Structure 1
C-alpha cells in the first residue's frame, strides 16, 4: 500500500488558518451572543476578545509550523565549511523536512568539494614552495656565495685600511643576507622533516624561532610516536610553523610551550603562549589556513584561551588518518 505524500507547506499553513476561522465561525453560529445596532459595550468586548483569541491562536500555530524554517535560516547565516558536520535535525516528511534534508545534502557536497579544492590548492602551494626554495638555494644562494668570495679576495688585495674596512663590512652584510636566504629556503622547504622526521623537524623549528626572535620556547615530545604518513606529518609541521609564527608576530608573548603527545587513537600537537590572548580578534587567513590543512587529514583544530593567560592551540590528528590528497 502506497503511503500518502508529504503535505506542502502552503496547504499546512492554509489548514492552520482554516481551523482557526472554522472555530470562530462555529462560535458565532452556536454561541448565545447577538450583536445589536448600535453595538453595545459588552458585545464589543466579546467581539474584540474573540478576535484577540483568533490572532493569538493563529500566531502560535504559525510559529510552530514555521519554526524549522527559522532554525534553517539561522544555520544558513552561521554555517562555516571549515567546521564540517553542522547539520540540522530532520523530523517528519513534510515540505520543510524536505527543504532541511536538501540543505544538509548541499552542505555535504560543499564540504567535499571544498576539501578536494583545498587539497589541490595546498598541493600546488607546496610544489611552488619547493620550487622557490630550490631557486633560492641554487641561484640566489650561490650568487651571494660568489659575491662573498670576491669581496674576500678584494679585501685581501687592498692595503688601505679604510677601503679594507668597507669591504669587510660588505662581507658581513653579504654573509647576513646569505644566512637569511638560507633561512627562508629552509622555511619554504623543510628538509629536516623529509630527512630526519617530524620530531627533529619540530625541534629545529622551535630552536630556529627562539634564536631568531629571542622568545623562550620549551618543547617536549612524547617518545614512541606512531608512524604517520607524509601528508599528516607535513600538516603537523605546517600548523606548528604557522602557530609559532602567529605568536611571534601578534601575541606579545615571552614564553611558548610546544607539546607533542599521543595515545592509541590520536596524535596531539599543543602550542601554548603567555601573550595577550585572543581578545575580540577574528580569525585571520593564517588560522583559516591551518583549519583547511587540518581538514585534509581528518584532524580537529581548536583555538582557545589558555588556562592562565595567553592562547592555546591544539591539533588532534587521528592515528592512521590520511589526507584527501598529498599536500
Structure 2
C-alpha cells in the first residue's frame, strides 16, 4: 500500500467512523427523547391523579350535600368559594359538575358560568371506564364542547370523579389540571443527553484505532486478492505462451516431419530397406513427441496418484521445474519423505502444488545452491512438509512484489484446507517454509 493509498484509507475510515457515530448518536438521542417523553406523560398522569384526589377530598363532601338540579345563587357562590383557592393557586384551571342521564351529559355547575347548561353525548369509553375506576385521567380534548377551555394557558388533563348529590342524582365532577409534558421532557433530556453523548464520543474516539486497523487490514487483503488475480491471469498467459512455444518450436515441426517421412516412404520407389529407414525415423520422432506431451500434461497435473508415493512425485516435479526454470544445472534438490505411508490424495495434491510454487520461487529468486524438501508425519493426524534453501533470503513479511504472490496463494490454499503455512527468512541466510496439513480432508458439512 502506497503512502497516498494509506492516507486515503485513513480519511475514508475516519469519515465512515464519524458518520456512523453521528447516526448512532442521532438514533440514541431520538430514542432517549421518545422514552423521556413517554415517561413525562406517565409522570404527568400520576401527578394529575394525585392532585385531583387531593382536590376531590376537599370539595366532594360539601358537593354531595347539595341538590345540583336546584342550585340557587347562594349555593353556587358557596361552591365557587370552596374551589376558588385551587383556581387562584393554579392547581386547577377549571371545574365542572355534570349530570349523567343515559348517554347524555349536561353541565349543571362550573366556575365558568357560560359552560353551565351545555349538553353533549358522554363518551362510551369514559362511561365504561368510570364504571370500573373511581377516578379517570385523560388528556383534555380540543373540540366544541371544550371551547371555554381553549383559551386557558398551556396544556391540561381531565380528571373525572363520580358521586351522587343529595337527591341521589348521578353526577360527575370534572377537574382540569395543568400539565407541561414538553418542559419536563426538555429538562430531563438536557440532563441525560449530554452524559450519553459524551459517553458515545468517548467510545467513538476509542474505536478509531480499531477501525483504522481493520480498514488497513481489509485494504491489504483486497490488494493481495487483486494481486493474486493479476498473478493468476499473468501465470495463465505465461503458461499458455510456454505451451504454444513448445508446441510450435518442437512438437508440431516434428509431427510435420513425421508426415513428410511417411509421405516420402509412400512415394519412393526405392527398395524396402529404404522404406524401413524412413519408418524408423518417423517412429523415433513420434516416440519423442509423445514423451514431451506427457511431460507437459504431468506439469499441469501428475498423471499418477501423488498420495501413493509423494517422494517420487516430488522428485519428478523438481526435475521438470529445473528444466523449465534454469538454463544450466541449477540448484541441487534433496528430497526425503519418511513415516508417511499412503496419503489422502487431496492432501497430497496440496503438498505437491505448494512444493511446486516454493521450488519455482527458490529457483527464480533465491539464487540458492541447495534446496532441501522434507515430508514427514508430525503426529498421527498431521503431515508436515518443509522446503529450505540456502539462498539470499528476504525480510518478512512477504514483500508486495509479483514474485511473491504465488507464496500468498500457497498460504491461502493451505489455510482453506485447515492447514498452516509458516515462513522464516533472513537476508543472506536463506528461507524455510513449512506446510502442515491434516492427513485427511474435512468431512462435508450438513
> Normalising to structure 1: TM-score of the pair?
0.50
Higher relative contact order, chain-length normalized (CA < 8 Å, sep 6+): 1
Structure with the larger strand share: 2
